[in-house]
Amino acid sequence: MVLSRHINPESVIAQCKEHAHKKDHPVHTRISSYRRDEDAAQVPKYTIPKEGIPSRSAYQLLHDETQLDGNPTLNLASFVHTWMPPEAEKLFIENINKNIVDLDEYPAAASVHNRCISIIADLWKAPKDCKPVGTATAGSSEAIMLGGLALKKRWQEARKVAGKDSSKPNIVFGANAQVALEKFARYFEVESRLVPVKASNGFIMEPHDALEYIDENTIGVMVILGSTYTGHFENVQLMSTLLDELQDRTGLDIRIHVDGASGGFTAPFAYPNLKWSFEVPRVVSINTSGHKFGLVYPGLGWVIWRDEAYLHKDLIFELHYLGNTEYTFTLNFSKPAAPVMAQMFNFLNLGFDGYRRIAVKDLRNTRLLSRALEASSYFSVFSEVHIPISHAVDTDSDDPEGYRRGLPVVSFRLSDEYKQENPQVQQSWVQTMLRTKGWIVPNYNAPKNEENTEILRVVVRESLSEDLIERLVTDLLEIVEGLATPGNVLVTTGVSLNIHQPDREHGRPDKSNFGGAGEEKEPVGFSRPC
């Protein structure tokens, strides 16, 4: 039997349908809801319906379709928060129709926003003699764009004052950077200088290595507190010290932006003794995601500058709006107020101790999962937050300071022993098999230079309880033992276990834009340039 390489499901459905009005509306571009007959409705799929359908049909149609989405609680791939208490949800709904930019109309929301800035600046140890400024953003990505732009403006101005060329800015960060950092560089025409990372160093930027990439055109260094690959923290303090020495040697004054997308809301609570924030003099700005360990639903980010002097006036717009004067320095104008309310809800509801309790619990669960994976001998763990920092430490202690620092993330791979015994097993199959049980655990390649290493990663969020970890370990062990069983159908037939994604072409750039992506086996990490 010859199998056609690709059957278009929409065409098959169209051929097989019975419908009286086939000619009027191309059947394959229609979707319909099914409930009781009185609610059933058919609408075109890719064009706006001429007449609408009843709200309950529209709801049903989309409600049913979203049943195909993964279960957010079991989505261990994401850092983004997936659970808030009912009172927070109530508050969210009550404020869902407010725009935070309308400061005059919603003065309470505006004041809550400003108090959030103040609370976060304080958590990040903004010096008392400084005037910190900041804003809510859609997420860390927007916050990183703003942090980067402020660095660029500051550099450009200094170059102009010195009568020097300001046309070739560059920015330095590790090859483990999240795509938002590279986006900043590309969107705002700054050369990105990626510092290669090594497996031996936890796939993060080593500050000494970064120095080689810095020159007079460097607008700043972005240091990542909580690498998305493994959860490792880059060393902000060491970077700052090395930049002090660089300034002594060369006169170059290079400042730091910390990408604390995840670390910004974990380090202050789990590692109060770690110096990474505004205590470190060269740190001029920090971003975080309220919707990650800020424990708020998406989308919310924050960016804060240690002092208003670092937010160049060119980035600030004075709005004379509805009789009031407001200042804005975000990329987006309108933004929902509800996530900001939810952030304040958490500050009030949890307090410092509550955030700490959750951070400590997440890290305890991270250690449990890490140890269980290692104890099975099927897996090796890359993340290090389960490794005690000295032999004297009481391994039953809950204090994260007794262990290596990092995010509550377990990154791991099949052990060498398992791979030797089962050379036919591909690690990516573990991801697919877990998906059949509802778990979403990504398998991806390590950053540039180490891209031949495949990493499985579990983010241990508040909702991943000890009970769920036990279920996850049970399923993981069953899967790898099953794959090792002689005669396992997946292994013997060599089935390629790619998760089917219906409709994946629609609304995406043409495939040719991706340099022939699709079938080929080139290893890719979280992102790659097109």
Ligand X SMILES: *Cc1c(COP(=O)(O)O)cnc(C)c1O
Tokens of 112: 């809550």
> By the 8 A CB rule, do 382 and 353 touch?
no
Reduce the secondary structure of 5-19 to three states and give it as a string: CCCCHHHHHHHHCCC
In this structure, is the dihedral angle defined by the CA atoms of residues 222, 225, 231 and 235, taken in order, positive or negative? positive
* Alpha-carbon separation of residue 464 from 332, 365, 378 (angstroms): 33, 8, 22
Smallest distance, ligand X to C-beta of residue 259, A: 5
Pick between residue 98 and residue 257 the one whose CB is nearest to ligand X: 257
- Write down the least CB distance from residue 128 to ligand X, Å: 29
Beta carbon of residue 394, minimum distance to ligand X (angstroms, whole number): 31
Question: In the complex, what is the shortest distance from the CB of residue 141 to ligand X, in angstroms, rounded to a whole number?
Answer: 3
Q: How many other C-beta atoms can be found within 10 angstroms of the C-beta atom of residue 482?
A: 15
Instruction: Decide whether 422 or 445 has the Cβ nearer to ligand X.
Output: 445
Helix (H) or strand (E) holding 457: strand 454-459
The nearer residue to ligand X, 79 or 412, going by C-beta atoms, is 79
Binding site for ligand X (CB under 6 A): 79, 139-141, 178, 180, 224, 226, 228, 259, 261-262, 289, 301
Least distance between ligand X and beta carbon 224 (Å): 5
Measured from the CB atom, is 299 or 400 closer to ligand X? 299
Q: Which is nearer to ligand X, 288 or 426 (CB)?
A: 288
Nearest approach in angstroms of CB 389 to ligand X is 23
Q: In this complex, which beta carbon is closest to ligand X, that of residue 303 or of residue 358? A: 303
The DSSP code sequence of 253-303 is: ---EEEE-TTGGGTHHHH-TT---STTSTTEEEEEEETTTTT---SS-EEE
CB 258 within 8 A of CB 223: yes
Rounded Cα distance, 499 and 335, in Å: 34
> Is the Cβ–Cβ distance between 492 and 482 less than 8 Å?
no
The amino acid sitting at 459 is V
By beta-carbon proximity to ligand X, the closer residue of 132 and 139 is 139
- Residue (of 211, 208, 222, 212) closest to 171 by Cα position: 222
**How far, in Å, CA of 324 to CA of 36, rounded?**
52
**Among candidates 191, 99, 335, which has minimal Cα distance to 182?**
191
Q: Which position's Cβ is nearest ligand X? A: 139
- Exposure string for 341-368, b = 16+ CB within 10 A, e = fewer: bbbbbbbeeeeeeebbebbbbbbbbbbb
Closer residue to ligand X, CB minimum distance, 180 or 197: 180
Select 60 or 141, whichever has its Cβ closest to ligand X. 141
Of 180 and 359, which has the nearer Cβ to ligand X? 180
CB of 461 to ligand X, least distance (A): 13
The interaxial angle of helices 179-187 and 140-161, nearest 10 deg, is 40
CB 406, min distance to ligand X, A: 12
Name the residue type at position 322.
L
CA dist., res. 91 & res. 98, Å (int): 12
Least distance between ligand X and beta carbon 262 (Å)? 5
Nearest distance from C-beta of residue 525 to ligand X, angstroms: 13
Residue with the two structure tokens 């953003």:
137
Half-sphere exposure of 428 (CA within 13 A, CB side): 13
CB of 69 to ligand X, least distance (A): 18
C-beta of 79 vs 378, nearer to ligand X: 79
Residue nearer to ligand X on the CB measure, 169 or 260 = 260
Least distance to ligand X from the beta carbon of 409, Å? 10
Determine the Cα–Cα distance for residues 501 and 521; give it in Å rounded to an integer: 18
- Give me the least distance between CB of 327 and ligand X, in Å please: 23
Query: Smaller CB distance to ligand X: residue 178 or 285?
Result: 178
* Rounded to 5°, angle at Cα 140 from 136 and 141: 115
CA dihedral sign, ordered 88, 91, 96, 99: negative
List all residues 6 or more positions away from 20 whose beta carbon is below 8 Å from its beta carbon: none
